[in-house]
């Protein structure tokens, strides 16, 4: 085979049991099978459940070529056929995934237990179109025709998972492994508090995620379960979770350090650094202080990364999550959120000391609370308290009169 002759010219990323080699060629990661594999995938070409594939791949498409009509071949299917030929792969025996993520940012995680080995090769990005299952969708598709619906949001960003299991799995267990891998991907995003770009929720993936799972049919070891009660399920979950987090950090810098930020925690509720800047200017003006962007940048960064304030922001965000999920009523969320704000920042809420009096009832709150949006009320309270806190800190340090 032409591809087999080429592999010596391509850098090997890793070799996985029972001898499959993972290569990178330019903007494509290719896995050449050394024997018979049972594969279940969401690939557009040669997808589904197959036992005749010789290779699988993950391929980077530049952002300016995300319109299928702009691709070589004039469609996704045409482009994949063109790409397979260019790579020297067998057209009818290759399945592949497409993504905007760079192959240089792929993460590989291999885990073992006794005879069992699981390897995840993942590229990831959710900064642009991370979403939560059940969010409003931007398009409606029927009979191959796509039409936009009345939802704002950008497309772009994908988590592509290639999962390799050195064990014989029947088709139904391959399907179960996809459930476990998907849960692990969602867990990784939850642990990073990655925001949905289409709702106030925590993202569970992107709108274009894909997966390939391959098992070694020739293995003497047969596995009948890939759920959370089995060691196979544990290895799948851990490998996918860890590789997803590593790939997100490499692709876009999404990591715990970046998320240790007041406004990273609150942005999905519409509470942003720009809101803080506008309110800070207003309060400075009231105090006779002329604020500027330089002042804002210096003190905003200090405040945004203060771990105590990040804890406060995380607490307020979680209260709002509990309200969104229907677990807590709005008035309780507002009351306790106000108490948290006062406890950390000593802020006054609507003229009442939140630590000494019950927060005002819904009847006495602003109009937007009547409209059922405690996020706007708590956001305003928190931003106001943060501004007063920062101005007070600057005065104590002699930076302001």
**Digitized pLDDT (tens) for each residue of the chain, 401 residues in all:** 444 445 445 677 889 999 999 999 989 999 999 999 999 999 999 999 999 999 999 999 987 776 777 788 888 888 999 899 999 999 999 999 999 999 999 999 999 999 999 999 999 999 998 999 999 988 888 887 878 775 555 556 799 999 999 999 999 999 999 999 999 999 999 999 999 999 999 999 999 999 999 999 999 999 999 999 999 999 999 999 999 999 999 999 999 999 999 999 999 999 988 888 777 677 654 444 445 556 666 667 778 899 999 999 999 999 999 999 999 999 999 999 999 999 998 744 443 433 334 444 444 444 334 456 899 999 989 988 888 887 777 777 666 55
- Please report the pLDDT score of residue 384 as a whole number: 87
Distance of CA 262 to the CA centre of its chain: 18
- Please report the pLDDT score of residue 398 as a whole number: 66
- Please report the pLDDT score of residue 396 as a whole number: 73
What beta strand segments (E) does 281-379 contain? 348-349, 352-353
In terms of Cα–Cα distance, which of 300, 305, 308 is closest to 391?
300
For the chain, residues classed under CATH 3.60.70 are 2-253
Residues in Cβ contact with 272 at an 8 Å cutoff, skipping those fewer than 6 apart: 263, 266
- Please report the pLDDT score of residue 358 as a whole number: 41
Alpha helix segments (H runs only) across 325-373: 330-345, 367-370
Place of tokens 């706007």: 376
Is residue 326 classed as helix, strand or coil in its secondary structure? coil
The H-or-E segment that residue 317 falls in is helix 307-324
- Please report the pLDDT score of residue 371 as a whole number: 53
Cα separation, 228 vs 231, whole angstroms: 8
- Please report the pLDDT score of residue 150 as a whole number: 56
Cα separation, 177 vs 112, whole angstroms: 16
In words, the CATH class of domain 2-253 is alpha beta
Cα separation, 347 vs 381, whole angstroms: 8
How many Cα atoms are found within 13 Å in the side-chain-facing hemisphere of 363?
0
């Amino acid at each position: 085979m032409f591809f087999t002759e080429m592999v010596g010219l391509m850098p090997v990323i890793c070799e996985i049991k029972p001898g499959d080699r993972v290569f990178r060629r330019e903007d494509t990661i290719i896995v050449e099978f050394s024997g018979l594999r049972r594969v279940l995938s969401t690939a557009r070409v040669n997808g589904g459940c197959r036992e005749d594939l010789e290779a699988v791949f993950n391929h980077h498409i530049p952002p300016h070529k995300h319109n299928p009509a702009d691709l070589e071949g004039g469609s996704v299917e045409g482009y994949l056929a063109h790409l397979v030929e260019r790579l020297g792969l067998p057209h009818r025996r290759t399945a592949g995934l497409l993504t905007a993520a760079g192959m240089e940012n792929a993460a590989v995680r291999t885990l073992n237990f006794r005879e069992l080995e699981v390897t995840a090769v993942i590229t990831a990005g959710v900064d642009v179109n991370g979403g939560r299952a059940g969010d409003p969708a931007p398009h409606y598709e029927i009979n191959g025709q796509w039409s936009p619906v009345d939802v704002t949001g950008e497309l772009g960003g994908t988590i592509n998972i290639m999962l390799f299991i050195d064990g014989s799995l029947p088709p139904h267990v391959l399907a179960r492994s996809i459930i476990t891998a998907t849960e692990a991907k969602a867990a990784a995003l939850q642990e990073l508090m990655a925001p949905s770009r289409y709702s106030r929720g925590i993202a569970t993936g992107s709108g274009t995620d894909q997966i390939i799972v391959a098992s070694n049919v020739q293995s003497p070891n047969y596995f009948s379960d890939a759920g959370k009660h089995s060691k196979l399920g544990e290895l799948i979950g851990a490998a996918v979770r860890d590789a997803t987090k590593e790939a997100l950090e490499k692709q876009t810098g999404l990591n715990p350090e970046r998320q240790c930020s007041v406004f990273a925690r609150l942005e999905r509720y519409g509470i942003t650094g720009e809101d803080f800047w506008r309110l800070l200017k207003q309060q400075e003006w009231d105090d006779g202080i002329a604020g500027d962007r330089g002042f804002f940048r210096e003190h905003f960064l200090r405040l945004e990364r203060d771990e105590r304030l990040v804890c406060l922001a995380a607490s307020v965000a979680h209260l709002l999550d509990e309200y969104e999920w229907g677990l807590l009523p709005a008035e309780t969320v507002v009351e306790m959120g106000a108490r948290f704000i006062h406890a950390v920042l000593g802020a006054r809420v609507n003229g009442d000391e939140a630590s000494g009096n019950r927060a005002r009832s819904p009847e006495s709150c602003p109009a937007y609370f009547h409209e059922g949006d405690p996020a706007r009320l708590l956001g305003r309270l928190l931003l106001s308290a943060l501004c007063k806190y920062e101005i007070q800190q600057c005065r104590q340090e002699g930076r302001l009169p």
